[in-house]
């Protein structure tokens, strides 16, 4: 007689237990995959915004560190204008304010209202502006360059000018279209470190305080000179990673900013010493 007991399959209870365990394991595997995918996207976002931050800080530092430079002895300097007067203008106005340019009364450093981004403008002797434009001069020929940095939408842009045109000495030969430095910028804020070595007789040319652009004109009229620039930027990651709740960010002395999108944001700050302006400030007390 056959032994039918040895040919029996799984019972219904055993099948149900097996299916339940399988579903639990499958759900755990799916959850791990979802978590890994989210972590990977978050890591990509962090890496992206970090790279953008490092790039823009390095680019701005490279552009701005020569602010206030003017060397009348450079053989590359174009001397079609009175370079003594031009040198005095560039060295005394490394950060021009509204009204400094006779042919550009609306050009200068501007303090944004509330949490609105600021506009930074710098003066220096160079062979090209922040976009690489030479404004009709020969290759490597140096002239008075004025660079403007501002936020348009979420794009940080720069626009270069021939300072001699802004001062009414020459006619513009090139357009002044803006060049985009970086996208996904939420805020761009600037402060200016000033020295008052004429009043204090301190020849170190160290910044005694940092101020906004709206008080810069009065400080300059009183003999102060900008010797440092402090910059703060708020960048948004370029990938769609939802972060909730989004924290508030405080850039320099501005009111806190609360972004509307639930995205990844990161704040970057740097202080740039203007060595040419510091040297000029020291020389004024000699």
**Stretch 219-234: mean pLDDT, rounded?**
93
92 vs 268: CA distance, rounded Å: 29
Phi then psi dihedrals of residue 250, to 5 deg = -115, 115
168 vs 242: CA distance, rounded Å: 51
Asked if pLDDT for residue 232 goes beyond 70, the answer is yes
**4 domain residue, yes or no:** no
The distance from CA 112 to its chain's CA centroid, rounded to whole angstroms, is: 15
Question: Could you give the C-alpha distances from 84 to 22, 48, 89, 139, 264, in angstroms and in order?
Answer: 85, 46, 9, 23, 50
**38 domain residue, yes or no:** no
**134 domain residue, yes or no:** yes
CB distance 227 to 278 below 8 Å:
yes
**29 domain residue, yes or no:** no
**9 domain residue, yes or no:** no
The distance from CA 188 to its chain's CA centroid, rounded to whole angstroms, is: 6
For residue 106 the two structure tokens come to 């609306």
**228 domain residue, yes or no:** yes
CB distance 61 to 150 below 8 Å:
no
**245 domain residue, yes or no:** yes
Whether omega for the bond prior to residue 245 falls within 30 degrees of 0, making it cis, is yes
**102 domain residue, yes or no:** yes
Provide the pLDDT for residue 228. Answer: 95
Which residues, at least 6 apart from 75, have a Cβ–Cβ distance to it below 8 Å?
Answer: none
To 10 degrees, the CA torsion angle through 162, 168, 174, 180? 50
Task: Write down the pTM of the prediction.
Answer: 0.84
Domain that holds residue 264: 44-283
86 vs 145: CA distance, rounded Å: 11
Which residue is associated with the tokens 């501002």? 150
Q: Give the tens place of pLDDT for each residue, 89-130.
A: 999 999 999 999 999 999 999 999 888 999 999 999 999 999
For residue 208 the two structure tokens come to 């005694």
The percent of residues above 70 in pLDDT, for the chain, comes to 86
Confidence bin at 250 (pLDDT 50/70/90): very high
Domain count, the chain: 1
Greater confidence (85 vs 26) lies with: 85
């Amino acid at each position: 007689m056959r032994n039918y007991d040895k040919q029996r399959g799984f019972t219904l209870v055993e099948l149900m237990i097996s299916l339940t365990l399988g579903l639990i394991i499958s759900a755990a595997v799916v959850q791990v995959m979802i978590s890994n995918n989210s972590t990977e996207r978050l890591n990509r976002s962090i890496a992206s915004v970090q790279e953008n931050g490092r790039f823009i800080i390095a680019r701005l530092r490279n552009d701005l560190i020569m602010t206030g430079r003017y060397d009348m002895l450079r053989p590359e300097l174009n001397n079609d204008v009175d370079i003594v007067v031009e040198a005095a203008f560039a060295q005394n106005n490394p950060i021009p304010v509204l009204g400094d340019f006779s042919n550009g009364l609306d050009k200068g450093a501007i303090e944004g209202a509330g949490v609105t981004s600021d506009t930074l403008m710098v003066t220096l002797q160079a062979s090209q502006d922040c976009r690489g434009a030479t404004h009709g001069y020969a290759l490597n020929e140096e002239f008075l360059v004025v660079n403007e940095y501002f936020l348009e939408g979420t794009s940080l842009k720069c626009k270069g000018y021939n300072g001699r045109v802004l001062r009414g000495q020459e006619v513009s030969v090139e357009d002044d279209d803006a060049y985009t430095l970086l996208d996904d910028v939420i805020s761009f804020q600037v402060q200016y470190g000033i020295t008052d070595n004429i009043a204090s007789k301190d020849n170190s040319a160290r910044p005694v305080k940092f101020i906004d652009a709206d008080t810069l004109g009065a400080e300059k009229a009183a003999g102060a000179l900008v010797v440092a620039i402090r910059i703060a930027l708020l960048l948004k990651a370029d990938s769609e990673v939802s972060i909730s709740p989004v924290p508030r960010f405080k850039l320099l002395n501005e009111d806190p900013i609360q972004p509307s999108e639930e995205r990844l944001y990161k704040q970057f700050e740097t202080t740039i010493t203007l060595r040419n302006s510091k040297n000029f400030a020291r020389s004024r007390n000699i």
